[in-house]
Amino acid sequence: MKITLNGKTIEAREGETILSAARRMGLDIPTLCHMEGLPPTGTCRVCVVEDRKTGRLIPSCSFPVSDGMDIATHSNQAVAARKTIIELLLASHPDDCLYCPGNGTCVLQRYAQELGVRQRSYSGARNRINLDVSSPSIIRDPEKCILCGRCVRVCSEVQGVSAIDFTGRGSTAQIGCAFNEGLNVSSCVNCGQCVMVCPTGALTERRDVDRVLKALDDPAMTVVVQHAPAVSVTLAEEFGIKPGSDIVDRMNAAFRRMGFDKVFPTSFSADLTVMEEAHELVQRVRKGGPFPMFTSCSPGWIKYLEEFYPQMLGNASTCKSPQQMMGAVIKRLWAPASGLDPKTVYSVSVMPCTAKKFEASRPEMGDGAPDVDAVITTRELAEMIRMFGIDISSLEGEAADSPFGERSSAGKLFGASGGVMEAAARTAYHMLTGENLKDMRIEAVRGLEDVKETTLTIAGIELKLAVVSGLGNAGRLLRDIIEGRRTYHFVEVMTCPGGCINGGGQPFLTDPERVRARMLSLYEIDRNASLRVAHENSSIAALYRDHLGEPGSKKAHHILHTTYSPREVLK
């Protein structure tokens, strides 16, 4: 069918919304409640456009196109209506933009600027609701909430967790947890996907920047930093560099300019995770189970399993995540070998994930003291770089530090959904056959699809593999497994859709094309690497030779493995 948008006739598809047709044309219609890929709710009304034939205002996100329709997206009437909606939202909104964590990325702030809102037109009683600071990962400020519902939708419809929902009615409506309790006793898994979709500063990560700065300023402390595989292919976006650009060497240089004593890539401990996880898989194959074995790298997924499917905890790998393995190796092996008291070593990790803050605080993750002292997100790292006045685009690249600076490209693949599976499968194949895969690339587990499946034949054994990202998808797959509709040997689960490249601590300007660019960058790193398997990493071999013995040894289990327990939560 044909419709007219702002005087231009275009073709539109039956069932398509006005908003979808306009975006295909490159027209930007503002919206606060709309979420791409989910059914429209049409609640905020900021996306109203004018039907020129009737003079009516209609919500573009939920109104379907019809043949011959004539729409003005930015008529005087439509713009005036949007401005009034923004003014009404601001009537009871806090006037603390200067101090708000959302300052600069707040969608409400941007629309107020675009629509010329320069003074308070309506006065309403300011919402007075206490901050929820109970979570180790996420801060919730209900006073800044505009009830768009995006956090509720991503939590329930995408992640299947439903930790938050609308409570109250009318003017008393707000978003909160069951029984008005804190996030810490809810079913929240700390994934931060709610933070990513919040259009204001109502949801933010718990900042650890000040703690890191204090440690850097303490001459008695040796401050060590590790950075996750997905960070180096994402950080560039915070500084206007092309999405997907790998700036790992410049990032290493920036860490040293800020005062970090040692810089280690978490991709090294990802290789270590591969060795332990592949060994665990091989042992299960030889002993006949239990199957499937689930990966344990993603802390949001582990907490989800503890809460919703505790009967399946025995299927989860006992391996710690790469973050926690690196933290344990730094504090328990590297520090003593370097003549340092572990108490004087401050271990920082930079992660694309808010759930890593929760993971670092778990009592299982330490030997009397935490293995990782502070976790900052990709966004927080960008904040620190700006704070120190570092021009990252002009820095000369620098290599990571020894002994944990060497990594295979298999460890780097951990940043994308399917990467853990591909890396572990390469090494499991070698453990079972004594040979490397002829084709390192396992195409079936690559890409951004929700669920990916394949069968890999190793030494005459057909291993059924599955990869799933997004906890809503993981929950559906898990139910199929429990009810016998699907059977696998090995399943990789990532909490966030697409994996760590789309984590809750990544830059806010996230869209499918940016996520794809990050993923393709990781694949390019792997394609061009000379070292593509963890078991050929000489630094990993040295670590086992000098300290751990062999994969699965008693000492390796003590340092690199952990246990998980069922959790009681308010639901």
Task: Based on the residue annotation, tell me whether 11 is a catalytic residue of this protein.
Answer: no
User: Could you tell me the two tokens for 168?
Assistant: 């109250």
At a CB cut-off of 8 Å and minimum separation 6, what does 438 contact?
A: none
User: Could you tell me the two tokens for 52?
Assistant: 């020129």
User: Could you tell me the two tokens for 165?
Assistant: 């929902």
Name the residue type at position 489.
Answer: H
Strand 8-11 vs strand 2-5: parallel, antiparallel, or unpaired?
antiparallel
Strand 345-351 vs strand 374-377: parallel, antiparallel, or unpaired?
parallel
DSSP β-bridge partners for residue 494: 469
Which member of 321, 406, 500, 521 is catalytic?
A: 500
Task: Based on the residue annotation, tell me whether 364 is a catalytic residue of this protein.
Answer: yes
Which member of 2, 36, 343, 364 is catalytic?
A: 364
> How far apart are alpha carbons 20 and 561 in whole angstroms?
48
161: nearest Cα among 561, 516, 504: 504
Which member of 359, 380, 406, 422 is catalytic?
A: 359
Which member of 50, 276, 280, 422 is catalytic?
A: 280
Task: Based on the residue annotation, tell me whether 97 is a catalytic residue of this protein.
Answer: no
Task: Based on the residue annotation, tell me whether 277 is a catalytic residue of this protein.
Answer: yes
Whether 183 and 569 have beta carbons less than 8 Å apart is answered as: no
Task: Based on the residue annotation, tell me whether 237 is a catalytic residue of this protein.
Answer: no
Task: Based on the residue annotation, tell me whether 157 is a catalytic residue of this protein.
Answer: no
- Helix pair angle (266-287, 419-433), 10° resolution: 50
Angstrom CA distances, 151 to 7, 32, 156, 242, 432, stand at 36, 11, 9, 28, 45
Q: Which residue has the tokens 């801060």?
A: 139
225: nearest Cα among 369, 323, 366: 323
> How far apart are alpha carbons 105 and 201 in whole angstroms?
9
Long-range Cβ contacts of 564-567 (<8 Å, 24+ apart): 564/296, 564/302, 564/305, 564/306, 564/313, 564/316, 564/364, 565/306, 565/310, 565/313, 566/306, 566/307, 566/310, 566/313, 567/303, 567/306, 567/307, 567/310
Which member of 60, 317, 321, 349 is catalytic?
A: 317
> How far apart are alpha carbons 484 and 479 in whole angstroms?
8
568: left (phi over 0), alpha (psi -120 to 50) or beta: beta
Helix, strand, or coil here: 420?
A: helix
Which member of 356, 357, 412, 452 is catalytic?
A: 356
> How far apart are alpha carbons 441 and 446 in whole angstroms?
9
Residue 387 phi/psi, 5-degree rounding, is -60, -35
User: Could you tell me the two tokens for 480?
Assistant: 């199929």
Task: Based on the residue annotation, tell me whether 438 is a catalytic residue of this protein.
Answer: no
> How far apart are alpha carbons 468 and 499 in whole angstroms?
9
Task: Based on the residue annotation, tell me whether 106 is a catalytic residue of this protein.
Answer: no
Cβ–Cβ contacts within 10 Å for residue 64, how many?
A: 14
Which member of 277, 306, 307, 492 is catalytic?
A: 277
Q: How would you class 427 by CB atoms within 10 Å of its CB: exposed for 0-12, middle for 13-18, buried for 19 or more?
A: buried
Which member of 297, 319, 353, 496 is catalytic?
A: 297
Q: What residues are annotated to the active site?
A: 277, 280, 297, 317, 356, 359, 364, 500
